[in-house]
Amino acid sequence: MTFTIRPAVRSKIGLLFGIAGASGSGKTFSALTLAEGIKGKDGKIAVIDTEAGRALHYAPKPGDTANPAKGTFDFLHLDFPAPFTPSRYVEAIKAAEDAGATVIVIDSMSHEWDGEGGCSDMAEQAAIAAATDRNGAVQAWKVDAMTAPSWKKPKQLHKRMMAKLIQTRTHLIFCLRAQEKIKFEKVRNEQTGKEKNEIRQLGFMPICEKSFMFELSGSMTMHPETPGQPRYDLQRKLNHDLQQIFPHGEQITIEKGERLRCWADTGEDRPPVDRIAEGVRELVETIQDASTMEALEAITGDKETIRRRKWLADNNRVDLADRITTAVNEALAAFSEDEGEEGAAA
């Protein structure tokens, strides 16, 4: 692989911004307010709604004109029912982009992790399937044993989704549910030397994959007691520039959305999407999803796959060719391991 080194220059970014909060914290209204500022004069807002149409409460009544000052906004609406798989989130965002959206509000992103068909649900169903014997009986002891392995596929799908979101040119605002969490800690009594469990309040925490909020361009958490205001005593990711836009306890406004867009648009244009690399990533995902050795052989033996691998080798895209080879070898190793386990069980 050849590395390229050049002077660092700030580039424009596609915003990935998260707003978390419990019910009544104002996250949906705040997200739409920011989106109104981000879109500018010629942009268009779309809302991907997993909440059974709740976002429509912020749409104007028939015959009325949207008025953000009175809590109504002009936006495209995409109803998004279960299953809430990571790949369907990517499909929904692509559909909103194809409809002309320049800023997309996803309400709620929490379902991707904790909703019907989301990552947690997929892991649970995989553990139950692995613990079910040939007669259809679920062996309870085995469910616990299979919990950790069952997370492999959901985590892989989540990582795929994040890789695609990071490449998105459209500005994305994620609304996430939050719930109060506690932590049990052992505390030693200095006089007696004995330990006891004490409860530590962690406050409202977003419902999502543990690193999701920190992979975004910026994120904040709101509290029902102070709706529409970022709270610095709760989980957040705001660098120095973003703290100037979103001071602690200051209401979200359209003007803040305009400033956020200017912050994202400062710098040189981003390089065009590498379509060849995108195609290789899709091929690698197809290889990873092969469920049988026969399916893997059909993929690797396909004329288009053979042609693509030869083209990469002939055109000095060795790094991409190696990604395909690595994916094939890992799939072969996994199938060999599965065959060994079946043989041992027999």
270 or 331: which carries more pLDDT confidence?
Answer: 331
On whether residue 311 sits in a domain, the answer given is: yes
Cα–Cα dist 337/6, whole Å: 44
Verify that 160 and 235 share a domain, yes or no. Answer: yes
How many domains is the chain built from?
A: 2
On whether residue 2 sits in a domain, the answer given is: no
What pLDDT shows up at residue 133? 84
Which of 264, 298, 313 delimits the end of a domain? 264
Verify that 253 and 291 share a domain, yes or no. Answer: no
Verify that 22 and 160 share a domain, yes or no. Answer: yes
Verify that 232 and 320 share a domain, yes or no. Answer: no
Which of 264, 296, 316 delimits the end of a domain? 264
Sequence-ordered list of residues with C-beta below 8 angstroms from that of 36, at least 6 positions apart, any chain: 45, 68, 73, 254, 257
Record the pTM: 0.85
Residues 256-296 pLDDT 10s = 999 999 999 998 887 788 889 889 999 998 999 898 999 99
What pLDDT shows up at residue 305? 94
Query: Domain span at residue 251?
Result: 16-187+194-264
Indicate whether 339 pLDDT > 90. no
On whether residue 1 sits in a domain, the answer given is: no
Which region among 1-15, 74-88, 99-113 has the lowest average model confidence (pLDDT)? Answer: 1-15
Per-residue pLDDT band at 1 (split at 50, 70, 90): low
Verify that 209 and 327 share a domain, yes or no. Answer: no
What pLDDT shows up at residue 346? 47
